Homo-oligomer: A and B are copies of this chain.
Amino acid sequence: MAKEIKNDTSTEEKILAAAKQVFMEKGIDGARMQDIADKAGINKALLHYYFRSKDKLFEMIFMEAARQFLPKVTSIMSSELPLYEKVEKFVNEYIDTLLQNPTLPIFILNEINRNPKDAIKKIFGNQRPPIDKVEEHIAKLVKKGEIKPVKGYELMINMVSLCIFPFLARPMVQWITKTNDEEFLQLMELRKKSVVRFVIDSIKK
């Protein structure tokens, strides 16, 4: 009866991986439990044996996704690095995360729009990201005359926009730039530098 080391590595993870794929691709409404079972290589009965309902399963997947969405970025922003380095690290980290999870943004945003309150709570906990810290930091540099006056939250929104949007509109971007899947990822890799430059050029005096 002792609860030995549960060897979860197999079925449960297969289910989660399959569910992630299907939910990300089709959204919660478009996803079919049968598809998830198939993709996991098991049957519906077992699927419900592990996760009682579709909602429960979706919840799990979303929680996992929510954690990734707000990456280590928070610590970067509240760090003591010089602003430009903050920007650079932020953008690099963010785009890296997205390169490893290209479909994360649309998945998250859909849930945010479907169920704003809960989704936001799951992403941010209950504390706002530390933009106050950024705000102060920027205010100082503005006073010193080193950068143009910008609002902290605006800078944040702009950076996030520039990082995430291309992944959201990926098919459009690929069509416009005539790139295939591989080339798109390379493009985003290059984009790191380009965005950093774009942002810094925009605020520096």
Contacts and interface: CB of A to CB of B under 8 A. Distances in A.
Interface of A: 26-27, 29-30, 106, 109-110, 112-114, 116, 119-120, 123-124, 128-129, 131, 148, 153-154, 156-158, 160-162, 164-166, 168-173, 175-177, 191, 194-195, 198-199, 201-203
A157 B161 contact: no
B168 A162 contact: no
Contact of A201 (B112, B148, B175): B148
A199 to B, nearest CB: 7
Contacts of A30: 27, 29, 114
Contacts of A123: 172
A120 B172 contact: yes
